[in-house]
Structure 1
Amino acid sequence: MTAASNSSLKSGPNSSPNASPGSRRVIAEAAEWLVRLQAGVDTDTRAAWQRWHDAAPEHAAVWQRYTELQQRVPGLMHGAGSRESGNGDIVAAQALKAVASRRGRRQALKLLCGGAVAATTGSVAWRYAGDQGWLAQTRTAVGEQRTLTLADGTRLMLNTRSAIDIQENRRPGADAARIEVMLHAGEMLVDNRQGGDGAGLRLRTRHGYVDPYSARLLLRQLPECSPPETLAAVQEGSALLVAGGHTDATLQAGEARRFDTGGFQPVQAWRERDLAWTQGVLIADDMRLDDLLRHLARYRHGFLDCDDAVAARRVTGTFRIHDTDRVLEALAHHLGLRLRYRTRYWAMLEA
């Protein structure tokens, strides 16, 4: 982030005509934080951001509006720009102004994708993450997957655009500290079947927590749901689910369940295809084309879309998530569609 970019953020022809000077200032500050948090987050930076966030209700509201836009538009290309020229800051500000003035989805996307094309050197990757995901200790980039081993031997595999925090909490009278993993965004495969009953591990999301007992399970944030939910799916072992801190349920092997702070959805059957990403593939079984593109967008920079006229076309197949360009070409060929790039980061499938 450059000091020279501040004037561009705070005033100019791109300022929202509906925003007061105070609102424009908060939007500019939020944009600066969005960019600053990508440069490397240490304890002081986290604390400084939190102080800014909590200093006024308007700060929290602007930040929340941006994260809600991210949640409504999965796969969004979160602007890129040159740090030297300050383009990253300008794109961030424009995106936030679009949200603050409640402009349409398409216009916000044009602002973000347009900023990506304007970049000449460097980039700022705006990861698809919820509110606290920006400050998470461990994050995966677009298309990245990562495997971690915790102190108790538990193995975590993070999928693309995921964010977690890990901490140990010492419990009075307990022989060992409880390890807590907070999933802020994305999804992770958790395996704590080795040794003991796994009672020292707790998995948290914004909707509640999961205590896995010698289990292999998937935990996924579902921001596309209305309201957003968490999915827990147990392949082996069992797990205790607590929604909103007051309602609990037990999941056995072969069961899956969605929940939010208000409670649980009905139990569903475990689906092997939910873990296909661990093998580098995405499995579509009679899936709508627009849903397939939404899932595929998580593995590439940019925005994927299709004409409304073809959005409901059904697709069945197995697709390699690490070569999304080839997947798009194959979809266009087999469905008789045209693949068009509006920009380098905005691909469309059209009739």
Structure 2
Amino acid sequence: MTASDDVPTLDSAVQEAIEWEITLRDGDVSSAVQAQFETWRLADPSHEAAWAKLQSRLGRFSALEGASGAAVRRAVNEPSSTRRRMLKIGAGVAAGVLAGVGTRELIKVFALDADYHNGTAVPERVALNDGVPVTLGASTRIYAPQDQPRGNIFLASGQIATGFRAGPRDWVAVATRDGMVQTRGARLSVDALRRHTVVAVQGGDAILADRRGGRVRATDGTAWSLSSERIKLMPETSGDIFAWTSGTLVVLDRPVPDVVETMGRYFAGYIRFPDSALSRRVSGVFPLDDVKGSLRQLAEGLGLTLNFYGKALAVAV
């Protein structure tokens, strides 16, 4: 792996919540430190929200409101129709479990009512109701509304790869918050990251459109960065991007937050890299079936040491 040097850092409230978690885990916490922590939580609503979301990820809710974190996770992993019913029935419990984060907000932020969801670290192949074959990456949620034209997909989170349609004249359109990609015969890999959407095209051409109306024809074998402001050709080939379907992450001159975010889908807890590392760029090949090893590889390439706190946290220093 190689590293080079421009990207924003993670949300400050999330960073601070992780740092407080590490501090409070030390066990022998003075009353003064505890008071500082409570002051921090009350100082801004975003602090309380970040702390609640962190705790939900750490699964520490077994004693709250008589509901277990396992029960909530089980509801999240149910098929969408069952999950919607469970979330409606258990709205009061879920609100208590999430320490003030409302169920509606949870559904909105995490797309818990998505039509298809892969909650495992292993790619899952599904056939949508309209016959479109799709591979779902880890932590992926998509909507495929039946009242929309055939082949229309909204990728709320994660990464998908589409298969070839049986009818080559049928369009496949994948939208994210950044824009849309459409094709009549190609396979697509679409990755919804925080800063942008990564699109790769194989076996044909596709049209990329951003939210401002910009359009680009993406030719066979190319990879693109699609954001709300621009569409940019990436140095990777489509083969590099599609490698995730066989368990490998390949990046060339990619911002570190992109890589950390992708690996985070395969790691059960939170990952914390220092700001100095988040402003750099890296190139490398990382196995996704050994995410701890890949995180260490990433950290070492940046001149850092990675510490694991059980399965809950990975902190690079």
AA partner of residue 323 (structure 1): D
Matched, 1:145 2:117: no
Q: CA offset at residue 178 of structure 1?
A: 2.5
Out of 305, 325, 330, the position equivalent to 2:272 is 305
Q: 2:196 aligned with 1:218, yes or no?
A: no
For 1:214-293, list aligned pairs within 5 A.
214-223=185-194, 225=195, 229-244=196-211, 246-261=213-228, 264-268=230-234, 271=237, 272-285=239-252, 292-293=259-260
Comparing 242-251 with 332-341, which one deviates more in the overlay?
332-341
TM-score, L = length of structure 2: 0.61
Which residue in the other structure is 1:203 paired with?
174
- Deviation per CA, 1:111-157: give whole Å up to 9, x if none: 72487263455434489997472221111215242111235543211
Between the two proteins, the alignment pairs up a number of residues equal to: 249
Would you say the 8 A contact 1:217–1:236 is kept in 2? no
- Mapped contact 1:129–1:163 kept (Cα < 8 A): no
Is contact 2:127–2:133 with CA below 8 Å preserved after alignment?
yes
Q: Distance in 2 between matches of 1:197 and 1:142?
A: 33
Over the aligned positions, Cα root-mean-square deviation in angstroms equals 4.3
8 Å Cα contact 1:194-1:214 kept in structure 2: no
2:11 and 2:249 mapped to 1: Cα distance?
A: 25
Residues 151-175 of structure 1, C-alpha deviations (whole Å, 9 max, x = no match): 55432111111111113448xxxxx
Query: Structure 1: which 5+ residue stretches go unaligned?
Result: 1-67, 80-93, 171-176
Q: What do residues 303-342 of structure 1 show as CA deviations (whole Å, max 9, x unaligned)?
A: 1123456667886653322232344456677877544234
* Cα distance in 1 between the residues matched to 2:117 and 2:128: 16
For 1:207 and 1:313, the matched residues in 2 are separated by 23
**Which residues in structure 2 correspond to 1:58-207 (within 5 Å)?**
101-103=45-47, 108=50, 112-113=54-55, 116=58, 118-120=60-62, 122-123=69-70, 124-125=72-73, 131=109, 133-141=111-119, 143-150=121-128, 153-169=131-147, 178-199=150-171, 201-207=172-178
Could you tell me which amino acid in structure 1 is paired with residue 155 of structure 2? Answer: L
Q: 1:98 to 1:277 in 2, by over 3 A?
A: farther
Relative to the length of structure 1, the TM-score reads 0.56
Give distance in 2, aligned partners of 1:333 and 1:245: 40
SS in 2 for 1:340: strand
Q: Percent identity?
A: 23
> Residue 312 and residue 131 in structure 1: after superposition, are their counterparts in 2 closer, same or farther (change >3 A)?
closer
Structure of greater relative contact order (alpha carbons < 8 Å, 6+ residues apart): 2
